[in-house]
């Protein structure tokens, strides 16, 4: 049994997962670093007495259960789960194959669900734990060329928001992390897949969008090492936030989304407020002109 804080991190062989694992290890924690290829994870993180490398394809519930079992056998507990592994399918919705949409949702939404479902019994027994899921600013606002990715990340946000009140009475905290553009490996050829252009109406914009996303790889302003340190700070808090919006660009996206929602609420407030079932004593207002109907 370990007296250390035990971190369980998915997608720890590349990108952000490596930085989170390194930061957790440097802080003196025990780390379970998982990935589809354990050798890749070991090469990225090196050797440490506080490190356990476990094979985990997050799309496999059986892999998730086996990885959690190996963790409990080694450390006896899981204190922090970081759902980090994800991929990126880019393209216009009509040009994205159904199989691409399915793979996006399977990896970026169902994958974290598989791992969390395997981890929660351990945390419930402990009556403690912290589930951190890396979403995206695309979980706050959708964007052109991002229908698949945003759909999966909106799903992560809705799932985590709903999970929070279910598990908090059991001593388990949850945090959604919505990063903006960070210099991870999400936009590399290994993690990004594009729809096959097939519709003339999208051709010109398709070329521009593809060039933009390829040009952003390695140019993102966010520093993954700083985000990893921020996650350690949040995990150490007695009452961690349910949501952490990471990066100035993500904050700008969130603030713009708030402003847009408020404008839409205000524009249709009267119509929206007139939709209750009318009782006989109610005065019904005609939404077209505001005239009293009864």
Strands laid side by side in the 51-55 sheet: 51-55, 30-35, 6-9, 80-83, 129-134, 172-179, 243-246
Residue 96 DSSP one-character state: S
User: What tokens appear for 201 in the block?
Assistant: 């109406």
258 burial via Cβ count (<10 Å: 0-12, 13-18, 19+)? exposed
User: What tokens appear for 17 in the block?
Assistant: 């997962």
268 belongs to the catalytic site: no
Which listed residue (92, 145, 149, 202) is catalytic? 149
Residue 179 DSSP one-character state: E
Neighbouring C-beta atoms of residue 271, cutoff 10 Å = 11
CA atoms of 261 and 157, how far apart (whole Å) = 17
Give the distance from CA 116 to its chain's centroid.
12
Place of tokens 């933009």: 212
User: What tokens appear for 79 in the block?
Assistant: 């204190």
CA atoms of 127 and 116, how far apart (whole Å) = 15
Element (H, E) at 251: helix 248-267
Helix (H, G, I), strand (E, B), or coil: what is residue 67?
helix
CA atoms of 10 and 56, how far apart (whole Å) = 8
CA atoms of 90 and 148, how far apart (whole Å) = 7
Name the H helices within 52-132: 61-75, 98-105, 111-126
Place of tokens 């660009």: 249
Which residues are annotated as catalytic? 149
């Amino acid at each position: 049994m370990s007296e250390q804080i035990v971190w369980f991190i998915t997608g720890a062989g590349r990108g952000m997962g490596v930085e989170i694992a390194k930061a957790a290890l440097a802080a003196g924690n025990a780390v379970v670093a998982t990935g589809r290829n354990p050798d890749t994870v070991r090469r990225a993180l090196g050797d440490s007495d506080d490190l356990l490398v476990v094979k985990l394809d997050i799309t496999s519930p059986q892999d998730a259960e086996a990885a959690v079992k190996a963790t409990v056998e080694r450390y006896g507990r899981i204190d922090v789960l970081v759902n980090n592994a994800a991929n990126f399918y880019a393209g216009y919705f009509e040009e994205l194959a159904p199989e691409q949409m399915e793979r996006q949702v399977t990896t970026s939404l169902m994958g974290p669900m598989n791992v969390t479902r395997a981890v929660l019994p351990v945390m419930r027994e402990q009556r403690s734990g912290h589930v951190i899921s890396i979403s995206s600013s695309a979980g706050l606002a959708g964007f052109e060329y991002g229908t698949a990715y945003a759909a999966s990340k909106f799903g992560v946000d809705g799932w985590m928001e709903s999970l929070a009140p279910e598990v908090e009475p059991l001593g388990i905290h949850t945090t959604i992390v919505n990063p903006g553009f960070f210099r991870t490996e999400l936009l590399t050829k290994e993690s990004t897949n594009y729809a096959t252009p097939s519709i003339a109406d999208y051709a010109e914009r398709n070329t521009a969008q593809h060039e933009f996303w390829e040009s952003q790889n390695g140019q993102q302003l966010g520093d993954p090492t700083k985000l990893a340190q921020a996650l350690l700070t949040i995990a150490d808090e007695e009452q961690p936030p349910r949501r952490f919006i990471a990066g100035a660009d993500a904050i700008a996206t969130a603030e713009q989304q708030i402003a847009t929602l408020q404008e839409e609420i205000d524009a249709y407030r009267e119509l929206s407020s007139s939709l209750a079932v009318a009782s006989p004593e109610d005065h019904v207002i005609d939404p077209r002109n505001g005239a009293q109907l009864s």
